[in-house]
Amino acid sequence: MIKETEVAFTSSLDVNEVTILKVLGSGGFGTVHEGIYRNQRIALKRLHTNTKNKKAAMQSFQAECRNEVLSLDHPNIIKTLAVSSAFTLEDEPCLLMEFVSTRTLQHVIDDTNEKMDFARKLRVNSEISNALVYIHNSGIVHLDLKPANVLIADDGSCKIGDFGCCQFVDDQPNTPTRSYLTGTFAYRAPELLRGESPTFQADVYSFAICMWQIWTREVPYKLQNHQVVIFRVVACSLRPQIPTGNEIDNRYKELMTSAWAGKPTDRPTMGDIKETFANWRI
């Protein structure tokens, strides 16, 4: 019988004990597989070594292997269990992670059969904000928050993953962000699009775009030219269209719009947002 993940973290991974079952997803820098390790169901992220941008892929992998990331331990964050610098004959570095599910928040948003009443929206937002507060308190800026990077467990809880774009606020604070490692354009804060150094408030902006998507269940800036959107977000304060009238809860709208303010200092902190959700009554 395969158990839920209980493997203790180890800095080395015995690849001979890994059985790969199937592909769960693939991106520019790596592929995630479902597998079995020491009789535990796990997820295995393998770095692409044949990618055109090998430097970026390796930087992404190294970011996820930082001690600060490996030591993250929170119910709303995917836990890394082991690291290997090489995997089988292909020599592909990999991360062994807890298996959560095959379903992301993006899948839930896109599934018209999935009910998302206010209570569920509040739970999802609250759990993501709880995780981000913990991440920020650990000195980490995620920089790639989006529904596709939030897994939904069988009990409905949320778990943030994919720290490949993350940066650390104490590391060279005046260094501009690595543009090719700063996530999906629609969720990027204006200051990142300008090439400024990342701060915790960049994640707050991304969270606001997620709030909009959780409420509307639509794609931000759908069918619009990426370069035009980037220019207008920076120069014209473009944001996704806000539902009108009774189509959106006023408290939700006010929090969302404050969180995507153009100036980072005008946005609430994730701690403020977490506290706001905790004080709401359905």
Same domain, 165 and 266: yes
Does some domain include residue 4? no
Which one of 63, 98, 133 terminates a domain? 98
> The domain that contains 66 carries what CATH number?
3.30.200.20
Of 73, 110, 111, 144, which one is the catalytic site residue?
144
- Please tell me what DSSP assigns to residue 173: T
Same domain, 90 and 137: no
Does some domain include residue 115? yes
Look at residues 20, 42, 44 and name the one whose alpha carbon lies nearest to residue 32. Answer: 44
Does some domain include residue 7? no
pLDDT in tens, the chain (282 residues): 334 444 444 556 666 788 889 999 887 678 899 999 888 899 998 887 666 667 777 788 788 888 888 899 999 999 998 887 654 535 677 889 999 999 999 999 999 999 999 999 999 999 999 999 999 999 999 999 999 999 999 999 999 999 989 999 876 555 555 544 456 899 999 999 999 999 999 999 999 999 999 999 999 999 999 999 999 999 999 999 998 878 899 999 999 999 999 999 999 999 999 999 999 976
Same domain, 57 and 126: no
Does some domain include residue 140? yes
Same domain, 243 and 129: yes
**Distance separating alpha carbons of residues 87 and 85, to the nearest angstrom:** 7
Does some domain include residue 223? yes
55 labeled part of a ligand binding site: no
Question: Which residues are CB-contacts of 27 (< 8 A; sequence separation ≥ 6)?
Answer: none
Is 73 a catalytic site residue?
no
**Number of compact structural domains in the chain:** 2
Same domain, 75 and 128: no
For residue 90 the two structure tokens come to 């292909």
Same domain, 86 and 185: no
Which one of 98, 132, 162 terminates a domain? 98
Range of the domain at 57: 15-98
